[in-house]
Amino acid sequence: MSGRTGKSGAQAGAGDLLELVRSGRATTRGALQQATGLSRATVGLRLDRLFRAGWLREGAGGPVDSPLGGRPSITLEFDDAHAVVLAADLDTRHARAAVLSLTGEILAEHGGTLVIEDGPDAVLGELGRWFAELLGKAGHLAHEVCGIGLAVPGPVDSDTGRVVQPPIMPGWDGYDIRARLGRAFAEHAHGPADVPVLVDNDANLMAYGEQRTGHPDCSAFVLVKVSTGIGAGVVVGGRIYRGVDGGAGDIGHIRVPEGADALCRCGSYGCLAAVASGGAVARRLAGAGVPAASGSDVRDLLTAGHPEAAALAREAGRRVGDVLATVVTLLNPGVLMIAGDLAGTPFLTGVRELLYQRALPRSTAHLDVVTSRLGERAALVGAGALVVEHLYAPERVEERLLALGV
């Protein structure tokens, strides 16, 4: 049991009980008493508040035998019908948005052209319109939205929700994304402008979404996204590892020896992204007379089995694999997931070739190198989960219950 929910006696609050139920560690009154050391009456009082808020319900499964013996107990479960989450994932020229249930089910979804270079005011305003339409499609009202999660293709200061010197997001540096998205939500969906908005890097949120849904027992999980740029998300102990300044995982701008004369979008020469990203492969293909301008063009060529695209993707995989050998040696993850436009057999083959050659055998003995399971939805699922984990965290529950008047 973690220290946070391991409080005993009068210390364990409604938020701690909710956490125990949501995580499945204690799902009956008896089990909650045992886990917290609270009396039956106190557990009852705290659960009553959660019932009145609509956050908990009695399970459909019926009574189960109590671990303490005696009467069978009713199981408790998180009531995921009392609110919904909005999420969006911005790529450089395309975006996806969705309404999600509190347990991560996508209730309505939309993907379309949205050009990040048009700047934050235009892009976030349009997202507000998408959110309004999606809520209508899902049959939910704006006041049911408990929060918004947004994935962006750049480094994010998660305390302020602002992007920090993003190489591929001109005009977004330091912009107040939370306030603008809240305004757009109020304007188009008629929701409260002060709705909580959480912003994070797309690779972080993809890693979070994939780890939680597909690899919940993996305590060290790394996802590498290779599309127009290259980024990585790290989930350690079930939490996104962001580093001190939110810069963890930004492996696209590591210098590689082969790239000395390759100009990167960040303005430097020799970055990994300048020689091994979807954008870099597209440039090589275009130079050879194959029409390709972006990572998604390369993906289309790979899907069609284009031999030159496959050869270049494998070579890009080897270059990324060389850098990943260091990543794997440092973090010793259980899963290394390759996602994004280039994530296919040729790229993966290249990654494996160099990774197993360069990394220490002990760091790769129990390593699974896999491709994405959620595909284009990974960041949406991760963004939704981030909002839910934030809003229902024990330290935030008390304040929110008081605001609801229970």
CB of 47 to Zn ion, least distance (A): 52
CA atoms within 13 A on the CB side of 100: 28
Phi/psi at 306 (5° precision): -65, 120
CB of 248 to Zn ion, least distance (A): 16
CB of 253 to Zn ion, least distance (A): 4
Smallest CA-to-CA distance from 28 within 79, 78, 73, 62 is with: 73
Distances (CA, A) of 159 to 163, 197, 245, 311: 11, 11, 10, 42
CB of 111 to Zn ion, least distance (A): 27
Q: Which is nearer to Zn ion, 181 or 262 (CB)?
A: 262
Q: Which is nearer to Zn ion, 203 or 385 (CB)?
A: 203
Q: Which is nearer to Zn ion, 66 or 268 (CB)?
A: 268
Ramachandran region, residue 394 (left: φ > 0; alpha: ψ -120 to 50; beta: rest): alpha
CB of 81 to Zn ion, least distance (A): 45
What is the binding site for Zn ion (CB under 5 A)? 253, 264, 266, 268, 271
CB of 263 to Zn ion, least distance (A): 9
Q: Which is nearer to Zn ion, 264 or 359 (CB)?
A: 264
CB of 151 to Zn ion, least distance (A): 20
Q: Which is nearer to Zn ion, 155 or 317 (CB)?
A: 155
Q: Which is nearer to Zn ion, 14 or 273 (CB)?
A: 273
Q: Which is nearer to Zn ion, 124 or 280 (CB)?
A: 280
Q: Which residue has the tokens 């079930």?
A: 238
CB of 229 to Zn ion, least distance (A): 8
Q: Which is nearer to Zn ion, 83 or 264 (CB)?
A: 264
